[in-house]
Amino acid sequence: MIRFNPEYTDMFLGVVRKYMQLRGGLSQKELAEMVDIGISTMSRFLNQKTKELDPQLIASMTAKLNIPLHEIIDFVEEDSTEMFKKLVAFYKAQGADERPEAQESELGAIEEGLDEDSTRTKTKANIKGVSMPFGERRAQEASNMSIRDKLNRLSPRQKGFLTDFLDLDVEGRDLIVDVGNSLFRYFKQSSADF
């Protein structure tokens, strides 16, 4: 049986809420549907109104939200760690069967083959004096995109970094910006060398 350390329950629930936000701002109802339980059960669990911690539910939530195990490993008792990892892996594998990633990668390869750069005939529309190509996946230049559009294109990992960055004090943010500027210059210079 998998055992959990009750001292870290608040920490675990905080991580769950964090990843609910990172995965698109999921509501309790959406998370309940993802893990296939009732909404009231999810509400009771997240508000600590349950008597016992259900290992199946915790492993399923960890897998469905794709929570890195290192963030919640203190919550799992040491002698239960291996069993918990296996249970999470089981739920992840079960989720992989539900969404055929192979088909998605094939579709992505087909879409890349249909990119404007590789087609023989280039079609453009003139809308209000602006010439726009059809079939181009990069229809908006990065410089023309709004901040909201740019933020929506970030991966969950990048959004997590952005959240951590914004939580820093002013000096910490300035330090990250200084280091980032050096990295930007390095990458721009190395891409110009090619």
The answer to whether 24 touches 31, Cβ cutoff 8 Å, is no
> Is the pLDDT at 147 greater than 70, yes or no?
yes
Better-scored residue on pLDDT, 135 or 93: 93
> Is the pLDDT at 127 greater than 70, yes or no?
no
In this prediction, residue 97 carries a pLDDT of 56
Number of C-beta neighbours around residue 98 at 10 A: 6
Start-end of H helices in 49-155: 55-64, 81-98, 101-113, 147-152
Alpha carbon distance 137, 170 (integer Å): 37
In CATH, the number for domain 6-98 is 1.10.260
In this prediction, residue 167 carries a pLDDT of 83
pLDDT by residue (tens digit) across 32-76? 998 888 999 888 888 888 888 888 899 899 999 999 988 888 888
Burial class of residue 144 in the structure, from the number of CB atoms within 10 Å of its CB (0-12 exposed, 13-18 middle, 19+ buried): exposed
Alpha carbon distance 164, 157 (integer Å): 11
Instruction: State the distance between the two ends of the chain, measured CA to CA, in whole angstroms.
Output: 56
Range from 87-91, 151-155, 183-187 that averages highest in pLDDT: 87-91
**Residue ranges per domain, the chain?**
6-98, 145-194
> Is the pLDDT at 116 greater than 50, yes or no?
no
Give the predicted TM-score (pTM) of the model: 0.50
The answer to whether 62 touches 69, Cβ cutoff 8 Å, is yes
Position 18 confidence tier, pLDDT thresholds 50, 70, 90: very high
**What mean pLDDT is predicted for residues 107-129?**
55
In this prediction, residue 14 carries a pLDDT of 92
- SS3 (DSSP) at 88: helix
**What mean pLDDT is predicted for residues 13-22?**
91
